[in-house]
A and B are shown apart, each in its own frame.
Chain A
């Protein structure tokens, strides 16, 4: 019995061994072809750009993904290929990985390297000091260095419009806000939303809850459940992946009762697809933060030799860097017109939206 078992183990090892040798030869060819295509890509163009995601990853349905889509679009427009000499990304598994990932991309001679997210502030600053010839850009944070372009968004302006939309559309006079981590970026969303709601009707109650995380959909779901049960009919989330739970809760309620007046306002990207439930959709609109457009803008400037190093570029309503997504009929025409009025007032500077909650 034991003899047979050992024989089986031995033959397994032998089989694995032969498989490894077999794969050795085939993979040799694979690596040599990829090597030649890399050098080919390098010759085709003279400008390359890459990005490092934060721990959210490139498929977070939020700003990392948006930035990557921007890079892909930029690559397409300029005939670049993914990889060395074109465009590429590296994903970070923990905070400690940012430095290494940024360094790796700079060593691969990308002309501009983006750090996506405020979490990378420290890493970008450190690398910028060490690699003085590299051109870096950071989203959602300011790094004061001559070779770093800092990109900020006026999230509060998009959130203000979301607040106006929520206030115009609520029937229960109660709306909710679900935040991720309690950090300055998310506070700008909260401040804008509160301000927007109050601008329309200051008797409307806003239930503000922070979940403390951007990647816990189950927390988003329970929080949304409490809000809807307490009578809120519109919930605005600024919580990344946690916000997916808000959509799940709203969709479940809509499925159970198709006449229920339940809405979600999405964030960062147009989250219409997230809200689809059968023929209905729970997405009222989304507070857009056009990270992709900003990434393309910076890349284009750098390509033209006008890399805005040392500058802080703020994208707001006036620059079309933030805004509201198409509601696809969920908000009626007359109310859209009212929202449009607020939008023009913000863009012209007549209304200044505060960045912090008072």
Chain B
């Protein structure tokens, strides 16, 4: 078996295995896997509405995945994507509702505000890591809580004691009438273009600039980078700021596209944490993140249709989805099995 064939077989086999185990789980719990999976399929590709909503769900996942992947390539583990996303969400919604400006200025300004807020939230752990060697995992986790409760308090202040802000002005909205008409009122918005643009930006920074080269070098070996004359501290801070900015943009997608407002939250959105899995599934490459986000977003959105069309309880659905993702993520084991099978054949 050629290397290429194995590369192609690995994802296919892992998805099939995931589906099989998911089917067994549904069967054991007394539900029809065929009804379940056809509900999942229809929930993702059933009509234009679900396709639009699926893409809408994928959008923030791409940005969250980019944020994790970017930090990872620089040797940093950014667990704070969730918090950076939340502050970005608030910043974009606030700028979107507080002032009314022409669309050409307002929309970029609101998006920029989210990136700045997210970047700032990434700057703090970056600074602490660079100057005092405080581990970024601890700081970013704690920054998540600070983000959650600070934005809740700010929302209360901004909305005069209410629990959500006013909707953003149309001039700051990413919503598109064209997409709405095309997809039967789904919430698909122009944010997907922002996300895809950022994929290219990340690829450009990492592969085409000196900065990217240095960041990757720091990621591989800090001491060697230092010896080669690179400013490791600067690179660590910069990596966290850029990573945070990607996450903040993910928040802007929710603020200006999906919801058009921000409401106080009792807990985390989960997008930032899922972003870790998205990035790792995509091997921390920009293109890989698109695939990881597509898988995550599609499954997550399509799963909503399983209780609706097949009557399967949401708890079982979540287990099935988790199993599918688990098998996809464990592609390494399947690759190992396939390789062994191949060498065995050659030996014979």
Chain A residues near B (Cβ < 8 Å): 2-3, 6, 9, 13, 16-17, 19-20, 23-24, 27-28, 30-31, 34, 55, 57, 83, 90-91, 93-97, 99-101, 103-105, 108, 118-119, 121-122, 130, 180-184, 187, 212-215, 356
- State in angstroms the CA–CA spacing of A119 and B259 once bound together: 12
- State in angstroms the CA–CA spacing of A100 and B311 once bound together: 16
Assuming the contacts A2-B340, A91-B314, asked whether A183 and B304 have C-beta atoms less than 8 A apart, the reply is: no
- State in angstroms the CA–CA spacing of A20 and B16 once bound together: 11
Tell me if B301 and A100 are in contact (CB < 8 A).
Answer: yes
Assuming the contacts A16-B20, A16-B24, A94-B269, asked whether A101 and B308 have C-beta atoms less than 8 A apart, the reply is: yes
Q: Does B48 contact A (CB under 8 A)?
A: no
Q: B120-153: contact bitstring with A at CB < 8 Å (1 yes, 0 no)?
A: 0000000000000000000000000000010010
B68 to chain A, nearest CB (A): 19
Provide 21 A-B residue pairs closer than 8 Å at the C-beta atoms, listed in order of the A residue. Answer: A2-B340, A6-B340, A6-B341, A20-B23, A27-B27, A27-B32, A30-B32, A31-B32, A31-B34, A93-B304, A96-B57, A96-B254, A96-B258, A101-B308, A104-B305, A122-B164, A182-B152, A184-B161, A212-B266, A215-B266, A215-B267
B97 to chain A, nearest CB (A): 13
Q: Which residues of chain A come closer than 8 Å to B49, judged between CB atoms?
A: 103
Size of the B side of the interface (Cβ < 8 Å), in residues, is 48
Main secondary structure, interface of A, reads helix
Q: Which residues of chain B come closer than 8 Å to A20, judged between CB atoms?
A: 20, 23-24, 33
Assuming the contacts A100-B304, A212-B152, asked whether A16 and B21 have C-beta atoms less than 8 A apart, the reply is: yes
Within 8 Å by CB of B35, from A16, A27, A104, lies: A27
Tell me if B263 and A119 are in contact (CB < 8 A).
Answer: yes
Most chain B C-beta atoms within 10 Å of own C-beta, residue among A57, A97, A101: A97
- State in angstroms the CA–CA spacing of A181 and B23 once bound together: 39
Tell me if A31 and B149 are in contact (CB < 8 A).
Answer: no
Tell me if A90 and B308 are in contact (CB < 8 A).
Answer: yes
Tell me if B304 and A104 are in contact (CB < 8 A).
Answer: yes
Tell me if A23 and B27 are in contact (CB < 8 A).
Answer: yes
- State in angstroms the CA–CA spacing of A93 and B307 once bound together: 12
- State in angstroms the CA–CA spacing of A83 and B149 once bound together: 39
Assuming the contacts A6-B337, A93-B318, A213-B267, asked whether A24 and B307 have C-beta atoms less than 8 A apart, the reply is: no
Tell me if B266 and A13 are in contact (CB < 8 A).
Answer: no
Q: Which residues of chain B come closer than 8 Å to A181, judged between CB atoms?
A: 152, 163, 264, 266
Q: Does B156 contact A (CB under 8 A)?
A: yes
Q: B177-188: contact bitstring with A at CB < 8 Å (1 yes, 0 no)?
A: 000000001010
Within 8 Å by CB of B163, from A27, A184, A212, A215, lies: A184
B336 to chain A, nearest CB (A): 10
Q: Which residues of chain B come closer than 8 Å to A184, judged between CB atoms?
A: 161-163
Tell me if A122 and B34 are in contact (CB < 8 A).
Answer: no
Most chain B C-beta atoms within 10 Å of own C-beta, residue among A9, A20, A181: A20
Q: B84-104: contact bitstring with A at CB < 8 Å (1 yes, 0 no)?
A: 000000000000000000000
Q: Which of B255-305 touch A at CB < 8 Å?
A: 258-261, 263-267, 269-270, 301, 304-305
Q: Does B53 contact A (CB under 8 A)?
A: yes
Within 8 Å by CB of B33, from A23, A55, A95, A215, lies: A23
Q: Which residues of chain B come closer than 8 Å to A30, judged between CB atoms?
A: 32, 35
Q: Which residues of chain B come closer than 8 Å to A27, judged between CB atoms?
A: 27, 32-35
Assuming the contacts A6-B337, A104-B308, A118-B163, asked whether A99 and B187 have C-beta atoms less than 8 A apart, the reply is: yes
Q: Does B17 contact A (CB under 8 A)?
A: yes
Assuming the contacts A34-B35, A91-B307, A212-B152, asked whether A13 and B17 have C-beta atoms less than 8 A apart, the reply is: yes
Q: Which residues of chain B come closer than 8 Å to A118, judged between CB atoms?
A: 163
Given contact pairs A27-B33, A96-B57, a sample of 10 additional A-B residue pairs in the complex whose CB atoms are under 8 Å apart = A16-B20, A16-B21, A17-B20, A24-B33, A24-B34, A27-B32, A31-B32, A93-B304, A118-B163, A182-B152
A211 and chain B: residue at smallest CB distance: B266
Q: B52-70: contact bitstring with A at CB < 8 Å (1 yes, 0 no)?
A: 0100010000000000000
Within 8 Å by CB of A93, from B21, B260, B314, B344, lies: B314
Q: Which residues of chain B come closer than 8 Å to A34, judged between CB atoms?
A: 32, 35, 311
Q: Which residues of chain B come closer than 8 Å to A9, judged between CB atoms?
A: 337
Q: Which residues of chain B come closer than 8 Å to A122, judged between CB atoms?
A: 164, 167, 259-261, 263
Q: Which residues of chain B come closer than 8 Å to A356, judged between CB atoms?
A: 161
Q: Which residues of chain B come closer than 8 Å to A130, judged between CB atoms?
A: 185
For the complex of A and B, the 10 pairs showing the least CB-CB separation, nearest first, are A27-B32, A31-B35, A30-B32, A183-B163, A130-B185, A27-B34, A104-B308, A213-B266, A23-B27, A16-B20
- State in angstroms the CA–CA spacing of A90 and B312 once bound together: 10
A31 to chain B, nearest CB (A): 4
